Amino acid sequence: MTVTDALVRDDERHLRDRLDELLPAFASDAAENDEHARLPEAALRRLHAEGFDAAALPQHLGGGGASYSFFGEVVRALAEADPAVATIWTMHLGAAVGLAQLTADSLGSYYADALLAGDRFANALSEPTSGNRFLNPQQEASPVEDGHVLDGAKRFVSGSEIADHLLVNVAIDGAPAFFGVEPDATITVIPIWDSLGLRGTRSQLLSFHGTLLRADRRGAAPGPDHRNYVGAGLAGISLGIADAALGALVAHARSRVIAGRPLAEQQWVEYAVADHHSRIEAVRAYWRQALRQADAGDPAHAGGFDRAKLLANRVAVETAQLAVRVGGASGYLRTSPIQRHLRDAEAGQLMAYSTEVLSGVIGKQVLGTETAR
Ligand SMILES: Cc1cc2nc3c(=O)[nH]c(=O)nc-3n(C[C@H](O)[C@H](O)[C@H](O)COP(=O)(O)OP(=O)(O)OC[C@H]3O[C@@H](n4cnc5c(N)ncnc54)[C@H](O)[C@@H]3O)c2cc1C
């Protein structure tokens, strides 16, 4: 281990301790954020103030150079407390670090400096027409003197209402192109986000009316060595929700007494909990392996992220469904956290790439009928 590596690990340890202190407050706001579809803005600003954003920025871009493994553990822990915080933080870093990487040669430290200064970022990638294939934009931008112009829409943009910068992709002559866009009067938020789960992400529809995509804010194509925080983090969001659902199940089973004995002592509950806990731990171990592969620069991590997301999305839904069964009618009430975990777990499967798209990709790889995603 080099001196720099040792300093990074010390920073990670310090931040992990700080996170343990922050999480109870984040968790205690989660139910209200969900109830009112309220952005957890204070938690996100706190994460920045405590140094989590700077830590996640790669060292060559002026950040702390924290590992994927560290990033993943922070996302999982945040998701157990409030998955809306975890989702927006993942998207924020995905967009910020993505823009800093894509424009490093043309704009220097512009986006890295903005992240370090506390600006907020969002991914405006998904389109009404491209659906899950968010990296293959269908909306063609028209050339103008200073760049291109976009007339169209991006949807489900988590945290967009507080974003200072958007990572936007469009088609130019049929090929994907990436831009940094600072929201102005040409971009309107259409408030569609009255959703079943992950309500605090406020993943709104953005309408673009003649928005200038500045030539000097255009990024290069993503490279294989670029940080992929969204790909790394999505499994962690679902694992955190699975952990929260199992925690709520255990709390209920231990406190609910039926005919004089705790529900936790019924054998069907023991068997089912053993099964789900073992599967959560297996997915966690597999995901951590993929994170370590990413830290080591092993290209196998990309397939690991896909499989970890698929498995984590499923185990989160199945664990939350078990929690509903164990919770009985009292767990079905709005006052119980169990129903929220089930609603949040469902959202993990929808976020790109969805479990269906991933199943198609992985199935084709295994069957040897692989085509481009
Ligand atoms: C909570 C949440 C937060 C999000 N945050 C962001 C964000 O910050 N930025 C952003 O850009 N986007 C975001 N998204 C969008 C998301 O990542 C997807 O791109 C988007 O949800 C896909 O569109 P759709 O849901 O309409 O699904 P569709 O693509 O219309 O899919 C509908 C159904 O068809 C299936 N399907 C689609 N394509 C295929 C295929 N090729 N093969 C097999 N099955 C297929 C899907 O699995 C699904 O079952 C978010 C979504 C959610 C739910």
Ligand 1 atom nearest to CA at 124: 11
Distance 332 CA to ligand 1 centre (A): 27
Distance (Å) from CA 352 to ligand 1 centroid: 5
Please give the CATH number for the structural domain made up of 3-117: 1.10.540.10
Give the single-character DSSP code of 224: T
139 lines ligand 1 (CB under 6 A): no
pLDDT recorded at residue 7: 67
> What CATH code is assigned to 121-217?
2.40.110.10
Which residues sit opposite 171 in a β-bridge?
140, 176
3-class DSSP state of 190 = strand
Specify the pairing of strand 147-157 against strand 165-172: unpaired
Report which ligand 1 atom has the smallest distance to the Cα of 91.
8
CATH topology agreement for domains 3-117 and 229-367:
no
* Ligand 1 neighbourhood includes 357 CB (under 6 angstroms): yes
pLDDT at position 133, please? 82
Question: Ligand 1 center to residue 351 CA distance, Å?
Answer: 5
Q: What is the pLDDT of residue 132?
A: 84
Does the Cβ of 339 fall within 6 Å of ligand 1? no
Please name the residues in contact with 362: beta carbons below 8 A apart, sequence gap of 6 or more.
303, 306, 307, 310
314 C-alpha to ligand 1 centroid (Å): 16
Q: 355 C-alpha to center of ligand 1: Å?
A: 10
Find out whether the beta carbon of 37 lies less than 6 Å from any atom of ligand 1: no
Side chain identity, residue 264: A
For the CA of 352, the nearest atom of ligand 1: 17
Question: What is the C-alpha separation between 142 and 151, in angstroms, rounded?
Answer: 9
Angle (deg, nearest 10), helices 83-102 and 229-255: 170
Our mutation pick for probing the ligand 1 site, out of 351, 362, 371, counting the most ligand atoms within 8 A of Cβ, is 351
Q: Does residue 210 contact residue 151 with C-beta atoms inside 8 Å?
A: yes
229-367 CATH: 1.20.140.10
* Whether the CB of 156 sits within 6 Å of ligand 1: yes
Cβ contact 100:115 at 8 Å: yes
CB environment 225-252: b (16+ within 10 A), e (fewer): ebbbbbbbbbbbbbbbbbbbbbebbbeb
pLDDT tens for 276-286 read 999 999 999 99
What is the best residue among 39, 75, 91, 126 to mutate for testing ligand 1's pocket, by most ligand atoms within 8 Å of CB?
Answer: 126
User: What is the reported pLDDT for 135?
Assistant: 87
Give the mutation target among 90, 127, 132 for probing the ligand 1 site: most ligand atoms within 8 A of CB.
132
pLDDT score at 5: 72
348 and 315 Cβ atoms separated by less than 8 Å: no
For residues 358 and 268, what is the distance between their CA atoms, to the nearest angstrom? 32
Per-residue pLDDT at 371: 64
Å from CA of 158 to ligand 1 middle: 13
Residues in the chain with pLDDT values less than 50: none
Q: Ligand 1 atom 4: the closest Cα is on which residue? A: 156
Instruction: Report domain extents, the chain.
Output: 3-117, 121-217, 229-367
pLDDT, position 37: 98
The ligand 1 atom at the shortest distance from the C-alpha of residue 126 is 11
* pLDDT value of residue 269: 98
Are 17 and 26 within 8 A, CB to CB? no
CB neighbour list of residue 342: distance below 8 Å, 6 or more residues apart:
197, 245, 317, 320, 321, 323, 324
